Structure 1
Amino acid sequence: MPTITYVYSAHSAFAYLGSARLMALCGQYNATLIHKPILLSPVVEAQGSQPFHARTQAHVDYFFGREIERWAEYRHVPVINYRPTYHDADYSLASGMIIALGENGAAADAMAHRILEAHWRDDADLSNPVTLVVSIAEGLGHDAQTLIARGASNDCQDQLRANSDWARGQDVFGSPTYIVDGDAFYGQDRLEMVERALERPFAAPDWQNPPVDR
């Protein structure tokens, strides 16, 4: 059974755009999806990339405008046509709710997708416990107050930080990153490559096997 380690931020546009397709691939290929929600900025900055607040307006406009619109149309995914109102809010509690449901399984899959959807389709505030309880946790049939408490617990928040540290150690530089049995693919635009890897692993790159001097 193949395994996909899914490294993503709970407010990532491109994680959302690829979420439904990723879940479908897991079902099609009977792949186990391992969730690793991360705090995105520390991971991105560790690889030398600029956080969004430090990037040019042209880059931000392109990212939050045309690029998302095109992929939303291509993937048939509903999305708001503006930068989410609460995009800079704290999403650690939302991430903790995913972690509280375990690193894999249908409950974690559904929670991850719904949180991303709430942010990018519904313009929800992922830092607002009322939103997380009423719109998300209760909507998925959970004991919302218990799940919120677990998501906010030291155990889940420590795991979120540990996931972020692990991602830095794996040289992850963005969300989403899909790791198929050790082979990493960055960006939801690589999901077709992920599918190919599930069918048949790619050959190891030549630079991993340099010629031996004679």
Structure 2
Amino acid sequence: MSKTVEFIFDVGSPTAYLAWTQLGAMCERTGAQLQLTPVLLGGIFKATGNNPPGAVPAKGMYMMRDLARYAQRYQVPLTMNPHFPVNTLLPMRVATAAIGTPEQDTVVGALYDAMWKAPCKLSEPEALSRVLTEAGLDAGHWLERAGDEGVKDTLKANTEAAVKRGVFGAPTLFVGNEMFFGQDRLDFVEEALA
């Protein structure tokens, strides 16, 4: 039986984007299954008293350099979003609606690309609609699903459950009950999956 790595994420996190770019290949190497769990990072910060790294100027400047280092190591594009921080409520509702559907990876990938490859203000429905359409998706369908009360409740429940499990930021990954925080811990995640 293969192991599962759970990826707790918000597309507004550049470190979660960097982890996302690596997880597919990691799962192929280890034979693991990837489980996506969308959350609202702002809700996690509020519930845990945590703050984004940019709230401490020196830490924010260091993080920017570190992000560039990892993007270079992973050989992936990373363009800081000029609208950052972006309110991710609507895109994360779209991501939540996509979980378990055949379009799941396409939706999540399109959202990450729109935040960190070809950045736009993803909080605006018009921009989100364009992003989904350009990814070959039915934007109207996904925006309608994002408004569903069940989807809203699921995203809220995911966020609350993550906090109860000790999550304080994104990305957070779980292999079984073992928690790993940050894209810079992917080597430990892969060891746990091996």
TM-score for the superposition, normalised by structure 1: 0.82
- Structure 2 distance, partners of 1:106, 1:27, is 18
Q: Go from structure 1 to structure 2 and tell me whether the alpha carbon gap of 1:41 and 1:52 turns closer, same or farther (over 3 Å shift).
A: farther
SS at match of 1:79: coil
1:179 Cα deviation from its structure 2 partner: 0.5
Partner residue, 1:188: 183
Check whether the contact 1:92–1:157 (CA below 8 A) recurs between aligned residues: no
Aligned to 1:169: 164
Q: Matches of 1:110 and 1:192 in 2, distance apart?
A: 25
Q: Match for residue 7 of structure 1?
A: 8
Change in CA separation of 1:29 and 1:139 when aligned onto 2, cut-off 3 Å: farther
Aligned pairs, how many? Answer: 193
Percent of pairs with identical residues: 30
Query: Which ranges in structure 1 are unaligned for 5 or more consecutive residues?
Result: 200-214
Aligned equivalents of 1:162 and 1:106: distance in 2?
Answer: 23
Equivalent residue, structure 2, for 1:60: 60
User: Residue 78 of structure 1 aligns with which residue?
Assistant: 77
- The answer for the alignment partner of 2:49 in structure 1 is 48
TM-superposed CA distance for 1:41, in Å, is 2.3
**Structure 2: 5+ residue stretches without partners:** none
Corresponding position of 2:19: 18
The 3-state SS of whatever aligns with 2:19 is helix
Aligned partner of 2:126 in structure 1 is: 130
Question: How far off its partner does 1:20 sit?
Answer: 1.9
- 8 Å contact 2:94–2:145 — kept in the other structure? yes
> Aligned residue for 2:92?
95
RMSD of Structure 2 on Structure 1 (CA): 1.8
**In structure 2, C-alpha distance between the alignment counterparts of 1:35 and 1:51, rounded to whole Å:** 22
SS in 2 for 1:34: strand
Residue 105 of structure 1 and its aligned partner are, at CA, apart by: 6.0
In structure 2, how many angstroms separate the alpha carbons of the residues matched to 1:179 and 1:109? 19
Q: Is the 8 A contact 2:97 2:151 kept in 1?
A: yes
1:136-184: CA deviations, max 9, x gaps?
A: x223322210111101222212111111100110010110011012211
Q: TM-score, normalised by structure 2?
A: 0.90
Structure with greater Cα Rg: 1
Q: 1:105 to 1:192 in 2, by over 3 A?
A: farther
Q: Does 1:159 align with 2:154?
A: yes
